[in-house]
Structure 1
Amino acid sequence: MKTTSDKEIRKHNPLRTVFLLLIGGGVALLGDRWLANRTASIVPSSTPVAPSPVASANSNENSPSNPTAWLGQKANLAAALKPVDSNFIVKAVNEVGPAVVRINASRQVARRGFDQFGDGFPEEFFGSEPPQRRSNGPLEQGTGSGFILSSNGVIMTNSHVVEGTEQVQVVLKDGRRFDGKVLGSDSVTDVAVIKINADNLPSVKIGDSEVLSPGEWAIAIGNPLGLDNSVTVGIISATGRSSSDVGVPDKRIGFIQTDAAINPGNSGGPLLNARGEVIGMNTAIISGAQGLGFAIPINKAQQIAQQLATTGRAEHAYLGIEMVTLSPELLQELQESPDLEFTITEDKGVLIVRVVPGSPAMKAGLKPGDIIVKVNDQPITKSDAVQELVQNQNVGTPMKVDLNRKGQPLTLEVKTGNLPEQIQG
């Protein structure tokens, strides 16, 4: 029996072929419409969908004659055009910004500053424009920043912002102004505390400056050059910058370095992490440099602030020695000096150059020419390391000091004293 091929069927039945094509196209069209309806039905109700302009013009349900549906369409359109959610910087600034204040102060011209910073510190950071002397006395006006620590009006700022005055004016972000009393000021760490009579104030959230790493985000808020509530962003460039690295050897701080722009008037403002927590207090820049800003770690600043708020003064552990880091080059230079009064046998370690009379170091038996090898069993190679270990101790804490004296090992115990006020000032 002969079988008819598909080719022959199509050849002899053209109408059937056309019919099959029409049926296939109809099925495809129905499937496409079903898929579109199915997709629309599973769109979450929280996802705004803008209405079709054509449908709105030709549908009675969406016309102004049906107010409920028409208003719903407008609401959906507004939601669809709403800006994208804010980033972490905006969120941090919105949370902390209301707690950042401007501090206006008047003070005596004669004062002690950070002369290493260009034209002088604090002049470099104190205001939106050069301080102006008043005609009725040797006073000048300046502006700095600060931030609210507690809702009852305790504020932290830099010591150099309020130096020379006991009363300041505090201006909140919402425009309210308060007379502020300086509870205490510490020039050694450049920390001061102010109190205003107010309640239910916005306050900052404190972070942990001991866990910072270079490369983390850094957000600075303050009032640079009179531009209130300015925000700059950068990263943590380094941690533990010594005061000698920064150029202020009389200070006892391990600074945070950041490339977030810090300008005159930023002093006393907060440095935030990506979570909006205060990790430092902005305090200094180096004149003429770019991308070099410095902040006091908040752990140290808060420790000092608590003392100032409670007693009006801060204590600083103190040994009473002047020291330098030894190197082969320095050793040769010292040995060639005719004024050298002791013999040096090593070219590494920390050399004690002078011992302050009546200091804890002198009472413990330390002498010029001693080379510090270890402190509390920690090997020492730089003088900055000794200072950091001491400043992190409480006053009255015994410290074990391993020395090299004329080539012989020696271990002494030194009990820290409180840094004398005449040295602080």
Structure 2
Amino acid sequence: MSLLVKQLTTYLALLAIGGGAGIYASRYLAADNTSLDGRSPSAIPAALQQISPPQNRAPQENLNFIAEAAEKVGPAVVRIDASRTVSQDIPDTFRSPFFRRFFGNEMPVPEERVERGTGSGFILSADGRLMTNAHVVAGSDKVKVTLKDGRTMEGRVVGADPVTDVAVVKIDATKLPTVRLGDSNNLIPGQWAIAIGNPLGLDNTVTVGIVSATGRSSSQVGVPDKRVRFIQTDAAINPGNSGGPLLNARGEVIGINTAIRANAQGLGFAIPIETAERVANQLFSKGRVEHPYMGIQMVTLTPELKEDINKDNEAGFKVTQDKGVVIVRVVKNSPAERAGLRAGDVIQKVGGQAVASADQVQERVEASTVGSRLEVEVNRSGQTETVQVQPGAFPVE
């Protein structure tokens, strides 16, 4: 395998790749996979700041802000148990006339098994609208929802979006406790982060840490098929936490806990609540989400990658720039092909804004609208050209 192919295997980012995930409600990321709004820790003493206890509590209990947030949000965090039937198909070899001739009715029968998984979710409205991860409910139309007070209800999966890993569930109930949504746009590393969920089946577990980083790209996290900029936290997240809320110091939801890195400590990731809320609203209203799609494979250029591309005849094109985003493949019959984009084009601007990485291109396309005109400026063989692309709907299937 040529060095270029190895490089592309590592760095390729398909602008419109999506994918589902398993039923199990904890997403592990292989360690070698390449991938509060509140007070800053420096402003709070090592002993957590004491706050005035509620009227219905004895004064000596000395609640801190973490306990207060957990007490406020905990009743709105639910456990979600999902299951699906999986059948193992007969290998093609056994379908041949030769095998049927000799084995007849003794041919192997596909085995069916039930896969079960447990995850978390949280209640958005008093009438039973819930949010969770798509991989928590993957393959299920109905799920079992258990509230903190012990009530168990059947939940209907209204919609799931594997591209962002957000799903919504509806239960028939009224006067339910709800969470309050916060703001993740202005998070700063070092701010408090509180996670509530059901790790390993231990319901309503509370863990605390800080926001370790913001804006982690899907490729950095190790899930390049997602269109999300993740929040990184060191609050302990374990199998079963997926779909549960990440809170700021005021007890407001700033994200959905969705992924952890295997063989690592203190590496958890959450979907920003603004992304999750936008997707959830579309799922509740339409049952699906339309993601703008161009249909290209691209890679962020470096001087080393440029040299490798130009040395390898398999690429079929030459690159003259050291920086930018080079298109390495255009998907057949895609909006990009219809607009005239070609392999070897180096993308310089999308929608009038300069881009320096494949992640930035993906973000600009995601911010566009299906069916609208999106201006893409490229360098083609040393000449600057502008191409009008009309993004289509992401082909989920």
Q: TM-score range by the shorter chain?
A: 0.7 to 0.9
- Which residue number corresponds to residue 5 of structure 1? none
Counterpart mapping for 1:179-328 below 5 A: 179-328=154-303
Unaligned runs of 5+ in 2: 1-56, 89-110
Instruction: Give runs of aligned pairs for residues 353-392 of structure 1, distance below 5 A.
Output: 353-392=328-367
Q: 1:107 aligns with which of 68, 84, 102?
A: 84
SS of 2:313's equivalent?
Answer: coil
Quick one: distance in 2 between partners of 1:97 and 1:340? 54
Q: How does 1:83-102 map to 2 (within 5 A)?
A: 83=60, 85-102=62-79
Indicate the SS of the match to 1:97: helix
Distance 1:85 1:110, change over 3 A: farther
The answer for the alignment partner of 2:118 in structure 1 is: 143
Q: Secondary structure at the match of 1:83?
A: helix
| Superposed CA offset, 1:382-418 (max 9, x none) | 1111111212223233222111000001112222211
For 2:338 and 2:221, locate their aligned partners in 1 and report how far apart those are by CA, in whole Å: 32
Q: Higher helix proportion, which one?
A: 1
- CA root-mean-square deviation: 1.6
**Rounded Cα–Cα distance in structure 2 between residues aligned with 1:317 and 1:212:** 27
Equivalent runs, 1:153-192 vs 2, <5 Å: 153-192=128-167
Aligned match of 1:347: 322
1:149-207, Cα deviation, whole Å (9 max, x unpaired): 10000111111111111011000000000011100111111111111100000011011
Determine whether 1:82 maps to 2:59. yes
For 1:339 and 1:87, the matched residues in 2 are separated by 62
TM-score by length of 1: 0.73
What secondary structure does 2:283 align onto? helix
Aligned twin of 1:330: 305
Which whole-Å CA distance do the structure 2 matches of 1:312 and 1:209 have between them?
25
Q: How far apart, CA to CA, are the structure 2 residues paired with 1:110 and 1:410?
A: 51
Secondary structure, counterpart of 1:348 in structure 2? coil
Partner Cα separation in structure 1 for residue 186 and residue 370 of structure 2: 25
2:122 counterpart SS class: strand
1:110 deviates by 6.7
> Are the counterparts in 1 of residues 350 and 374 from structure 2 also a CA contact under 8 Å?
yes
Shift of 1:273: 0.6
Give the Å deviation of 1:349: 0.4
Amino acid at match of 2:72: E
One-letter amino acid of the counterpart of residue 103, structure 1: I
Kept in 1, the 8 Å contact 2:346–2:380? The answer is yes
CA drift at 1:109: 3.9
Question: Is the partner of 1:262 in helix, strand or coil?
Answer: coil
Aligned to 1:130: none
The correspondence for 2:370, drawn from 395, 402, 406, is 395
Provide the C-alpha distance between the structure 1 equivalents of 2:394 and 2:368, rounded to a whole number of angstroms: 12
CA distance in 2, matches of 1:394, 1:376: 11
3-state SS of 2:349 partner: strand
- SS at the partner of 1:209? coil
| Structure 1 position 82, deviation (Å) | 3.1
Does the residue aligned with 1:252 lie in a helix, a strand or coil? coil
- In 1, the alpha carbon distance for the partners of 2:210 and 2:216 equals 15
Q: Which runs of 4+ in 1 moved over 6 A?
A: none
> Secondary structure of 1:138's match?
strand
The alpha-carbon distance between structure 1 residues 313 and 406, as it changes in their structure 2 partners (threshold 3 A), is: same
Query: Hey, what's the Cα distance between the residues in 1 that align with 2:389 and 2:266?
Result: 40
Counterpart code for 2:150: G
User: How does the TM-score come out when normalised to structure 2?
Assistant: 0.78
Q: 2-side partners of 1:101 and 1:397: how far apart?
A: 39
C-alpha distance in 1 between matches for 2:184 and 2:160? 21
CA contact 2:195–2:235 (8 Å) conserved in 1: yes
Structure 2: which amino acid aligns with 1:374?
K
> Aligned equivalents of 2:389 and 2:204: distance in 1?
47
Does the alignment pair 1:413 with 2:373?
no
Spell out, residue by residue over 1:263-308, the C-alpha distance to the aligned partner (whole angstroms, 9 max, x if none). Answer: 0000000000111111100000010011100001111111111111
> More deviation in 385-394 or 102-111?
102-111
Once the 2 structures are TM-superposed, how far is the Cα of residue 84 of structure 1 from its aligned partner?
5.2
Q: Would you say the 8 A contact 2:198–2:241 is kept in 1?
A: yes
